[in-house]
């Protein structure tokens, strides 16, 4: 017997008790709203994480979805989410995102209820206009708008890696348009030049693009993490000798670990001279363009061809919000590179077809990531956004100052450009071993080996206590050091004092 | 003078008045909650869309983000969102998604507040466990779990196009692992075989992968839209003669327009014999596996190598929620294909490193798309999910029945397999022109030319009225026809009667 026979289609199917659902939604939204309002006042009592092993998590939360669960139980389970990392805790410094703005956060609630998809004006009329208009502001701030050329020459992507992938694909298409139809076999081997400290999405992009990671030439960076122009010139020659055609240079505006800015102005000239595309990966540090004093770090960005810029990092928008923008001189190229002109969706004889963004990217359905960003920006205005960024930059500079003040225990790895600050902490047990005040390259191997254990050990202690989460890293010749990232404007100078105090307090008992 | 000097870092930067913010959040969440609760009872009074041109939208909504805006104004602006398409209106049939489940919707609110990123267990302990466990259930339903092999061999992606891209990249890597490092120049030209009715993300994937769309062999489909096995066999031979090595076959489980299911069982044998990967694009129709009576449409899926399956379509989860899953016989392959082993994020000597999903995909930061899905599924259980899907399938079968009952005005294009129903409406002005009761291939060119104008004209009328949104399409030899898609379980049989009545009512005045 077919089940169709026993399905009652005379009325809608609705699995919930309306009153219970209403209570659930009301109490949940109250809990979430209270959380957003109270977090500035309650974090001293709350750990960043209450750490549990996978088995313990599964013990506390019944993950099974086999049997229906009452709303009462569901509420309890959501409480158990407290085992999650509080990424909105002021002392969460672990990643390149942190406490999201409250207005942007509730903007995402509206987004969930609207449940739009961004491919056509027809299904997302307000939101596609909004995306175009916000892109215009971003383009304007970058100097990407050329007179007489249309704006809105970009797209919001699900994260910086996908933004970078799109940009690199456009670069390849710009150089060799036949690749779209005929593939890599129809064109020479091509080379992309990126900093040795560039984000790993570069490698991932070349893998998926069929360029192969061998087509990726990593250019040496200096001690601050800045890609060295003369090294690029050398690499271009080597690539040519290897049989590769130079295709694209990527400047990073804010590297992942050091926060270094490659000099776009210099590299754009090299790119132009060698008929290469210049992409700027500003996923992390691109927001600097809106600061009052630090936007010189991106001097020459108006000469770049494309940029990745993630508002979900320094601008405090919840995940995901990442823009990939082309200079207006390349109007139409994004679409040319990606369109398949699917007739069932993008009828060209339709009204307002120029607002249909779907055929300019590799996604079909595309989540609305613009509303939350727009709501936040609109509520604080451009000055507010600038003031937010100025605050976090100033906090990071205070941290540098505080580290220098405590030079008996703390040593900067280098002089930071973005809001990441990389440093060593030398615990008492190592201070007796004498040579830590010498420049790093004069440290003994034994010292390096020992100091590399400091971060993992202290991090584990802090994770157990739930006092703070901060990442560590080895990079270039440097063994494990702390990478602090300042993102949230909910921080004040006393939080930076706390960071150093907490590391010291954990470190004093170390015995290496 | 540096602005740093005038930034007050002795306290957090907070741009909002706390009381006003609280009122804003409270009233907004009340509005959203009320909307979710009231929509089942209010839709008769609400249009699907209040259509506006871009200029009118910008007139009503001040898009400018330059100056700060009060919460009061922001509230008003959000009200103006009423110009957006109500994708949760029961009569929104325009895309392959519709009214989202209310529990999943508020699940997204929790997601926004948690603001996690899914790359490592360390920052998303609960959520990475949850993703693994839900994937296991999905794998189990597909017969993807082989004894002794680990589960959780998949990943949630930002939409079906990215899921497909990942799967095709894994297919290429499985066949030619050297491509990851050495690129397409190190391997022969490769061919992918997809239905002529496959989703356009296939083309987009080949463009970006450097395979080129020429490496894409489109296989003829029959009248129902089902890919023809003998045509694949012919194409394989042609591809070989063209100098291509066959790499992968893609079966579609639910094509975009006709909703056709390719016979996976048959194609998996051909794939195996020719040493090709078999990917199933079940973005739209994969959910059929959980129905009581229609899962035979995916017979043999346990022999596939990978699948795309979008809970944000037939399962009613808000955008975005798409899974890409490999058969457990390919454990480890997803990571092998995509890893770059970035040391700053994926320290292998870290505890629980096997839960770190970041290096198995091309994203870095990855939005949490699992919580909302889990909350919804958990609250209704597996039986509830089945019952939801049974309901929509039954509604779609009722629509077929109703169309056949009205055979004087309505003609099915073909016999549907999924919940899309494709049909012609013949308005009175064309009924006099005699030949519409003949099979389609005997229609005169004049008749075809005239009937192709029916859908766009009626669609525009309905859009003006806001009564309903439904897509139309030409496909294969058929000129424009209606493509109804039944997704939301909030529908009953009377809504299907409404659809046909409304088309009739608009059509009766047509004069072609």
Same domain, B210 and B341: yes
The answer to whether the CB atoms of B30 and A25 lie below 8 A apart is no
DSSP letter, residue A49: -
| B53-92 pLDDT, tens digit each | 899 999 989 999 999 999 999 988 887 777 889 999 999 9
Contacts of A457 (CB under 8 A, 6+ apart): A510
A492 contacts on B by Cβ (under 8 Å): 9-12
| A372 assigned to some structural domain | no
Between the CA of residue A215 and those of A64, A221, A236, A243, what are the distances in Å?
A: 46, 19, 12, 10
How far away is chain B from the Cα of A442, in angstroms, using its nearest Cα? Answer: 25
pLDDT grade, residue A40 (50/70/90)?
confident
Same domain, B318 and B198: yes
Quote the pTM value: 0.96
| B193 assigned to some structural domain | yes
Same domain, A332 and A303: yes
Confidence (pLDDT) at A436: 82
Q: What CATH number does the domain containing B190 carry?
A: 3.40.640.10
Residue A113, both tokens: 């209820």
Query: What burial class does residue A296 get, using C-beta atoms within 10 Å of its C-beta: 0-12 exposed, 13-18 middle, 19+ buried?
Result: exposed
Determine what percent of chain A is predicted with pLDDT higher than 90: 84
A199 contacts on B by Cβ (under 8 Å): 364
Residue in B12, B117, B189 nearest the CB of A97: B117
| A6 assigned to some structural domain | no
Strand pairing report for A420-425 and A410-412: antiparallel
Report how many domains make up chain A.
3
Contacts of A160 (CB under 8 A, 6+ apart): A199, A201, A281, A283, A284, A308, A310, A322, B364, B365
B318 contacts on A by Cβ (under 8 Å): 112, 115
CB A479 within 8 A of CB A424: no
| B412 assigned to some structural domain | yes
How far away is chain B from the Cα of A220, in angstroms, using its nearest Cα? Answer: 17
Residue A77 half-sphere exposure toward CB, CA atoms < 13 A: 25
Residue A28 half-sphere exposure toward CB, CA atoms < 13 A: 31
Confidence (pLDDT) at A350: 64
Q: What CATH number does the domain containing A485 carry?
A: 3.90.1150.170
Confidence (pLDDT) at B51: 84
| A373 assigned to some structural domain | no
Q: What is the mean pLDDT of residues A440-446?
A: 92
A383 contacts on B by Cβ (under 8 Å): 68
Same domain, B356 and B400: no
Same domain, A212 and A303: yes
Residue in B124, B343, B378 nearest the CB of A85: B124
Mutate to test the interface with B, among A44, A204, A389, A488 (most CBs of B within 10 A): A204
Same domain, B344 and B457: no
The answer to whether the CB atoms of A22 and B16 lie below 8 A apart is no
A353 vs A360 pLDDT, higher one: A360
A 10 A CB-CB count for A351 gives 14
> Does A497 score more than 50 pLDDT?
yes
Q: What is the mean pLDDT of residues A415-429?
A: 96
Same domain, A73 and A212: no
B209 contacts on A by Cβ (under 8 Å): 208-210
Residue closest to B277 by CA, chosen among B178, B180, B173, B185: B173
CB A460 within 8 A of CB A468: no
CB A417 within 8 A of CB A260: yes
CB A238 within 8 A of CB B237: no
The domain of A72 spans 15-46+50-84
CB A391 within 8 A of CB B75: no
Instruction: State the sign of the Cα–Cα–Cα–Cα dihedral A436, A441, A444, A449.
Output: positive
Residue closest to B367 by CA, chosen among B123, B11, B145, B150: B123
| B117 assigned to some structural domain | no
pLDDT grade, residue A434 (50/70/90)?
low
Q: Count each helix (H run) and each strand (E run) in chain A, helices first.
A: 16, 12
Residue A492, both tokens: 């004040």
Output phi, psi for A252, to 5 deg. -100, 130
Confidence (pLDDT) at A150: 85
Confidence (pLDDT) at A343: 62
Residue in B78, B384, B393 nearest the CB of A110: B78
| A163-174 pLDDT, tens digit each | 999 999 999 999
Which residues in chain B come in under a pLDDT of 70?
1-5, 342-351, 434
Q: What is the mean pLDDT of chain A?
A: 93
| B114 assigned to some structural domain | no
Same domain, B408 and B468: yes
Same domain, A351 and A448: no
Same domain, B320 and B397: no
> Does A4 score more than 90 pLDDT?
no
B434 vs A386 pLDDT, higher one: A386
Final residue before a domain boundary, out of A299, A333, A367: A367
| A341 assigned to some structural domain | yes
B492 contacts on A by Cβ (under 8 Å): 9-12
pLDDT grade, residue A3 (50/70/90)?
very low
Same domain, B154 and B302: yes
Same domain, A186 and A324: yes
Confidence (pLDDT) at B2: 43
Confidence (pLDDT) at B350: 64
Residue A58, both tokens: 């599964």
What number of C-beta contacts closer than 8 Å exist between A and B? 531
Final residue before a domain boundary, out of B60, B82, B104: B82
Confidence (pLDDT) at A340: 85
Final residue before a domain boundary, out of B317, B345, B367: B367
């Amino acid at each position: 017997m077919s089940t169709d026979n026993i399905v009652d289609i005379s009325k809608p199917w609705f699995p919930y008790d309306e009153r219970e659902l209403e209570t659930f939604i009301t109490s949940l939204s109250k809990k979430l709203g209270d959380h957003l309002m109270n977090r500035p006042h309650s974090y001293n009592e709350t750990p960043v994480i209450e750490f549990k092993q996978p088995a313990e998590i599964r013990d506390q939360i019944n993950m099974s979805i086999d049997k229906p669960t009452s709303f009462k139980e569901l509420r309890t389970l959501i409480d158990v989410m407290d085992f999650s990392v509080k990424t909105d805790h002021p002392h969460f410094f672990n990643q390149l995102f942190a406490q999201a703005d409250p207005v942007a956060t509730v903007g995402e609630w509206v987004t969930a209820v609207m449940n739009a998809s961004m491919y056509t004006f027809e299904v997302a009329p307000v939101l596609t206009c909004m995306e175009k208009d916000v892109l215009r502001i971003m383009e304007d701030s970058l100097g990407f708008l050329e007179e007489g050329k249309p704006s809105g020459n970009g797209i919001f992507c699900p994260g910086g890696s996908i933004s970078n992938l799109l940009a690199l694909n456009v670069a390849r298409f710009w150089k060799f348009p036949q690749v779209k139809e005929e593939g890599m076999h129809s064109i020479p081997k091509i080379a992309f030049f990126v900093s040795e400290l560039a984000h790993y999405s570069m490698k991932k992009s070349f893998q998926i693009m069929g360029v192969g990671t061998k087509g990726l030439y990593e250019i040496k960076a200096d001690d601050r993490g800045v890609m060295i122009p003369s090294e690029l010139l050398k690499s271009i020659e080597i690539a040519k000798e290897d049989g590769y055609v130079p295709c694209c240079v990527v400047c990073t505006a804010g590297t992942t670990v050091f926060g270094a800015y490659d000099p776009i102005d210099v590299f754009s000239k090299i790119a132009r001279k060698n008929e290469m595309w210049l992409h700027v990966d500003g996923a992390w540090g691109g927001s600097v363009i809106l600061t009052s004093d630090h936007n010189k770090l991106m001097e020459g960005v108006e000469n770049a061809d494309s940029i990745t810029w993630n508002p979900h990092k320094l601008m405090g928008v919840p995940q995901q919000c990442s823009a990939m923008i082309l200079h207006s001189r390349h109007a139409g190229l994004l679409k040319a590179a990606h369109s398949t002109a699917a007739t069932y969706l993008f009828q060209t004889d339709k009204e307002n077809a120029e607002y249909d963004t779907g055929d300019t990217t590799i996604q079909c359905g595309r989540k609305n990531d613009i509303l939350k960003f727009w709501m936040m920006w609109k509520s604080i205005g451009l000055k507010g956004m600038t003031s937010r960024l100025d605050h976090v930059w100033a906090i990071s500079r205070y941290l540098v100052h505080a580290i220098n003040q405590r030079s008996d225990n703390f040593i900067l790895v280098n002089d930071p450009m973005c809001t990441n600050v990389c440093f060593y902490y030398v615990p008492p047990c190592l201070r007796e071993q004498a040579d830590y005040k010498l420049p790093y390259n004069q440290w003994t191997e034994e010292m390096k080996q020992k100091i590399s254990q400091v971060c993992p050990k202290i991090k584990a202690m802090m994770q157990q206590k739930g006092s703070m989460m901060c990442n560590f890293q080895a990079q270039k010749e440097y063994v494990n050091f702390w990478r602090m990232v300042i993102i949230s404007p909910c921080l004040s100078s006393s939080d930076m004092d706390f960071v150093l105090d907490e590391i010291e307090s954990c470190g004093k008992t170390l015995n290496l």
